[in-house]
Structure 1
Amino acid sequence: MDSVNPATGERIATYEADSDDIVESKLGTAANTFDEWRDRPLREREKLLASAGDVLRENEETYATLMTREMGKPIAQARAEVQKCAWACDHYAEYASTYLESEHHPSPPGTTVKTVHEPLGPVLAVMPWNYPFWQVIRFAAPYITAGNVGLLKHASNVPGCAQALEEIFREAGYPEGVFQTLMIGSSKVDGVIEDDRVRAVTLTGSGPAGRAVAETAGRNLKQTVLELGGSDPFIVLDDADLDAAVETGVLARNQNNGQSCIAAKRFIVHEAIYEEYVDRLVSAFADQTIGDPMDETTDIGPQADPDLMAALHEQVTASAEAGATVRTGGEPLDRTGAYYPPTVLTDVPEGCPADTEELFGPVAAVYKVSDAEEAIDVANDTRFGLGASIWTADRERGERLANRINAGCVYVNQLTKSDPRVPFGGIGDSGYGRELSGPGIREFVNRKTVWVE
């Protein structure tokens, strides 16, 4: 497996893939470790997770640099990702006992009835490259602390991050086998899912990958959580604070070089403020600094892979040919590296790629609507349902409209985000199940009823 810097096209390192024998050995280790790990007191598991948070903080610059070199995110954002991972460890170290506390139920006199939460076993995580540390910690922190053990199949373009994540848990003092990285390609994932020792699967990635994993897991009656793509609406109503809606809109679309499932992708703007908002948004997009992701002043680094950038440009080109207007950007930069500029499309016709597909890069599709009713109709006119953002000075109005949007999460006057304190996940083609908070940690446990007469 080659690690290639998308900013330069240079190979950073080459990693040896795991042979079938090594995979078999790791699966055996996971199963054996689970038998002991599940009986470790929860308080001890919480303390180890707190230690993992300390390891993350102590090595922040090393891990941030590794992320930036392997997938191109600006270094400041990479540091923020490491910090967020440490925060998630802190959160579950403090609250896992609360989330997993037994639930007592009404019962006849003299009886005790409760639901206890017991771990399932080895959990396979198929994770993406766009947030190479956060996506992994987001699954590992809760599931491992609940008593499961983790097997990571990371994206093939971030092998260095995959190995570093395993080292974090080792340095934190976890027993061997609680968290292991499988250095395998996608073609071997089905075989791992089918193995009797693997009890559940979580995936963050594309729709086709999610369907493939769900199909294999379903045949084998194994639980799954899928967080797939999104085409999140960013609704700007006539009474919105335009300064905040522009500033946050730029960040919500372009952070992580625009490569985020919950990025603002469809900007739905009330006609009363449409022209002003679009002019300001276009100006702000054009002002973004594109360059070396290791430079502290860079806003937008390269796309993670030249092929991904080419696919994004095909979507933009097809949308323009269908009638969309390119207001800024729209062409790959003529320079070394997979650089695509922040792009704004207006007059987006129904059915073109910008209207119906996920644009996984710094491209915003903008729609004009006549009122809040039409805004909701446009927001819901998608097969995706991950997140949404609504901007209005009337918080009650925002909450009423939020209840009508078909999505897993809706933020009013805030960008869509994942936060360890609240559940996260989607509906429709954006997947199912929840990560984070109490519902997240309880996804992969046996909710066992215990009746004592």
Structure 2
Amino acid sequence: MGQTLKCISPIDGSVFAERETLSREAAFDAVARARSAQTGWAARPLQERIGLVMAGVAAVGAMNDEIVPELAHMMGRPVRYGGEFGGFNERASHMAKIAVESLADIEVGEDAGFKRYIKRVPHGVVLVVAPWNYPYMTAINTVAPALIAGNAVVLKHATQTLLAGERMAQAFASAGVPADVFQNVFLDHDTTSALIAGKAFNFVNFTGSVGGGKAMERAAAGTFTGVGTELGGKDPGYVMEDADLDAAVDTLIDGAMFNSGQCCCGIERIYVHESLYDAFLEKAIAIVKGYKLGSPLDAETTIGPMANVRFAGEVRSQIAEAVEAGAVAHIETMDGDDGGAYLTPQILTDVTHDMRLMREESFGPVVGIMKVSSDAEAIELMNDSDFGLTASLWTRDLERAQAVGDRIETGTVFMNRADYLDPGLCWTGCKDTGRGGGLSVIGYHNLTRPKSYHLKKVAG
């Protein structure tokens, strides 16, 4: 008998869903079935795999009316925002569109004596460990291209969004993807580590905490199993003196507060040129004061609870420590703040990098804003971080943004936008944000391995 995983709803602290984990024996058996089914799946024509995967995506879309309130119950996102299917479909559709070209043989040369080329072949069985904050969009980043490339996929979802993986597997099976080729499993940490250490998988993709990423790498040590990770972030925004002020405020504050700040590439610190600082701050405060904190099931709610009381507690601690050290909090406690999962969104000034708020991942609805006088100062502050996922630059000067971007230690540089994942670009990070890359042609390269053919022809 496995342990019971329980999804505790942030709405009211009740148990919304629970599932039993697989025993170690049952888990290894599930992976064995995936491995057995993978060869037949990989042998199918690429266009057939693409069609079945996209039919699975459409089947998820058909569930959206049920998924949206389910997400509100599981992790607190307000129903007014309509779920994740737009981004889910955009990412899968792009990967389907570029699959033929991305997976095509690389022709090296052919003459009377030799034929030489490089194929991209699937790894085999891919484990996808997905997070709760965007449970559908983060999962599809790997699930769609992995399946299209000919891998079998085993999906393990976060307990906070216990039902998301189950829905995806059911939808894809209903569309014709063989049940053993795409499986959702419920696993405890020890069994997951045992599977990885036991070489059950050919590739592991993990999105989550730095600690979780380290656990994945420890489990894979010595197995030569590839591990791709997207871990913590402390993404900065930099507003230059020539920026479109209104656009910068609207986008950066939304990037900091949307989904109660629980975004992988959410904005967690903002540096504003001294000439715009006062105006930026005034507008930012006005936006946040206009939010309605409340039940995510209420269509009027613009910011819901954090996904877990524990997560909100960490954000409250960071805010309290910063204020005690001299920071100024600009948002009064809102009526909906219950001291638990429902947390007042906050803007802090007079912050420094000595404060945890400006160094450690907050992953909540809080942002620190600092005044800067030059690109050099902003670059130094942006790079003063253990993390490197995205940076958002605000200027009318494309060449200046490129020059600043070249000096920032980050995976993605945005100009005049933030908190967006473009499936045509590689989603990647550096430093403690992890290693690897998803989506784009590079996503296919990471989910396959090169296989070289050097064929000598026999004369006559």
Residue of structure 2 aligned with 1:46, choices 41, 47, 50: 50
Aligned length: 452
Gap regions ≥5 residues in structure 2:
none
Q: How does 1:22-421 map to 2 (within 5 A)?
A: 22-79=26-83, 81-105=84-108, 110-329=113-332, 333-335=336-338, 338-421=341-424
Using the TM superposition, give the Cα deviation of residue 270 of structure 1 relative to its aligned residue in structure 2, in angstroms. Answer: 0.4
Asked if structure 2 preserves the Cα contact closer than 8 Å seen for 1:7 and 1:72, the reply is: yes
Percent of residue pairs bearing the same amino acid type? 32
Structure 1: state its 5+ residue gaps: none
* Residue identity in the other structure for 1:175: P
The letter for the 2-side match of 1:172 is A
CA RMSD of aligned residues (A): 1.8
Distance 2:402 2:419 in 1: 15
Structure 1: how far apart are the matches of 2:414 and 2:342?
A: 30
> Can you list the C-alpha shifts for 1:306-356, whole angstroms capped at 9, x where unaligned?
011111111111122222221225789543861112111111123211121
Report the alpha carbon displacement of residue 106 of structure 1 after superposing the two structures with TM: 5.1
Letter in 2 for 1:164: R
Matches of 1:280 and 1:187 in 2, distance apart? 48
Task: For residue 343 of structure 2, give the secondary structure of its aligned residue in structure 1.
Answer: coil
Change (3 A) 1:332 1:132: farther
TM-score, length-normalised on structure 2?
Answer: 0.94
Distance (whole Å) between structure 2 residues aligned to residue 445 and residue 17 of structure 1: 29
Residue 110 of structure 1, CA deviation: 3.9
**Cα drift, residue 11 of structure 1:** 2.0
Cα deviation per residue 1:177-225 (whole Å; 9 max; x = unaligned)?
1111121122322111122331111100111111111122132111011
In 2, are the aligned partners of 1:253 and 1:364 still within 8 Å (CA)? Answer: yes
- Which letter does structure 1 place at the counterpart of 2:81? Q
Letter in 1 for 2:241: D
Task: Specify the code of the residue in structure 1 equivalent to 2:198.
Answer: D
Indicate the SS of the match to 2:243.
coil
Structure 2 residue identity aligned to 1:44: E
In 2, Cα distance between equivalents of 1:199 and 1:100: 18
Give the letter aligned to residue 279 of structure 1. Answer: E
1:384–1:332: structure 2 CA closer, same or farther, 3 Å change rule?
Answer: farther
2:419 and 2:406 mapped to 1: Cα distance?
15
- 3-state SS of the aligned residue for 1:198? coil
Instruction: Find the residue that maps to 1:418 and give its secondary structure.
Output: coil
Return closer, same or farther for 1:109/1:332 CA change in 2, 3 Å cut-off. farther
Preserved contact between residue 313 and residue 340 of structure 2 (Cα < 8 Å): no
Matches of 2:91 and 2:207 in 1, distance apart?
18
Give the 3-state SS of the residue equivalent to 2:68 in structure 1: helix
Give the drift of 1:117. Answer: 0.4
Which residue pairs with 1:15 in the alignment? 19
1:60-119 deviation per Cα after TM superposition (whole angstroms, max 9, x unaligned)? 11122221211111223342x122212222222322111111112257764332111001
C-alpha distance in 1 between matches for 2:367 and 2:339: 24
> Which amino acid in 1 is paired with 2:317?
E
The 1-side partners of 2:154 and 2:300 are apart by 37
**C-alpha displacement at 1:19, in angstroms?**
2.3
C-alpha distance 352-117 of structure 1, shift in aligned 2 (>3 A)? same
Letter paired with 2:441: G
Residue 452 (structure 1) aligns with: 455
Counterpart amino acid of residue 9 in structure 1: G
Deviations along 1:24-81, one digit per CA (max 9) or x if unpaired, are: 22112111111211211111100101201221222211122221211111223342x1
SS in structure 2 opposite 1:340? coil
Are the structure 2 counterparts of residues 444 and 323 from structure 1 closer, same or farther at C-alpha, using a change threshold of 3 Å?
Answer: same
SS at match of 2:176: coil
Runs (4+) of structure 1 exceeding 3 A deviation are 106-110, 329-337
Distance 1:188 1:330, change over 3 A: farther
Residue 243 of structure 1: CA displacement? 0.7
Structure 1 counterpart of 2:342, which letter? Y
Aligned-partner Cα distance in 2 for 1:329–1:189: 43
1:383–1:108 CA distance, 2 compared to 1 (3 A): farther
SS at 1:431 equivalent: coil
Q: Is this contact kept in 1: 2:327–2:349, CA < 8 A?
A: yes
Q: Name the CA distance, whole Å, in 1 between partners of 2:335 and 2:451.
A: 54
Change in Cα spacing, 1:198 to 1:149, as seen in structure 2 (3 Å) is: same
